Amino acid sequence: MSEPSSKRQKTEPPEITLVYWPGMPGRGEHVRLAFEAAGVEYGDTALQKDCVDKVLAHISDKNIGDDFSPPPFAPPILRHGDLTISQVPNILLYLGPKLGLVPENDPNGVYYVNGLALTALDGLSNEAHDVHHPVATTLYYEDQKDEALRKAEDYRNNRLPKFLGYFERVLSSEPSKGGEYLYAGQLTYADLVLFQCLDGVTFAFPNYIKKVRDSDKYPKVWALYERVKGHERIKNYLASERRQEYSLCIWRNYPELDEQP
């Protein structure tokens, strides 16, 4: 892990690589945004040859891990020296202190940041995925469209408002220190996760999100979204070729699942 700046260390630490599918932001995007916000160089299999083979080797049902790490269940996977770890919130927990994305000298802060990231992932990533795949990940959307239509209605009417309202309250809490960021008045990986989740649901449910933003019901949430989006390094990343377009991943735009105009 090396910083492309004057802070670059003299002894090169082991290379660090994200192992994830090519051609979509997906769950790997939470890891990319952490590296990008910190301005730290990282490998990304999505931009490498034989990406799919590399991912499949890690999650093969023949893989029993190595001397150091148990096998991962699914991507995203982080390789750092001898370490192979998986699960988005786990990777961010590992990277957080290394990338300056958790508060220093605040031993409990890591649990608050981790809890907020887990909640954003639950409600705005995992549930957003289940909206278009309520029956089985192994079936096509078209084979579970009736179920998806029902679930999408509940998601827009009940779940999205519940999660947006929750994060508005977090941004009104004393520990947010003014509500610019979720915790401790500084950018943490929980903000990056929430930004990506909000960006994803905006792609998936544009009519619904436009209505919500016009209503001005969650002003702090959307101010945070714009704040992260305007962060110098994040802005550059989003404009770069490294940021991939949404496609058939967690956040999908099926117009019939969105609010009807």
* 3/146 with CB nearer a second copy: 146
Cis peptide before 134 (omega within 30 of 0): no
- For the CA atoms of 231, 249, 255, 146, the dihedral, rounded to the nearest 10 degrees, stands at -140
Question: Residue 241 is encoded by which pair of tokens?
Answer: 């070729």
* 151/244 with CB nearer a second copy: 151
* 175/255 with CB nearer a second copy: 175
By CB under 8 A, tell whether 188 contacts a second copy: no
In angstroms, the CA 135 to CA 133 distance is 6
Min CB(202)–a second copy separation in Å: 21
Residues 6+ apart with CB under 8 A from 164: 212, 217, 218, 221
18-31 per-residue burial string, b: 16 or more CB within 10 A, e: under 16: bbbbbebbbbbbbb
Min CB(215)–a second copy separation in Å: 16
* 11/108 with CB nearer a second copy: 108
By CB under 8 A, tell whether 139 contacts a second copy: yes
Question: Residue 47 is encoded by which pair of tokens?
Answer: 């931009």
Site string for a second copy, 13-52 (x = CB under 8 A): ----------------------------------------
* Cα angle, residue 149 at apex, residues 147 and 152 outer, rounded to 5°: 105
* Segment lying near a second copy (by CB under 8 A), choices 20-28, 143-151, 196-204, 249-257: 143-151
In angstroms, the CA 16 to CA 13 distance is 9
By CB under 8 A, tell whether 154 contacts a second copy: yes
Residues forming contacts to a second copy in the complex (CB under 8 A) are 61, 63-73, 83, 85-87, 89-90, 93-94, 108, 111-112, 114-116, 118-119, 122-123, 126, 130, 134-136, 138-139, 144, 147, 150-151, 154, 158, 163, 165-166, 169-170, 172-176, 182-183
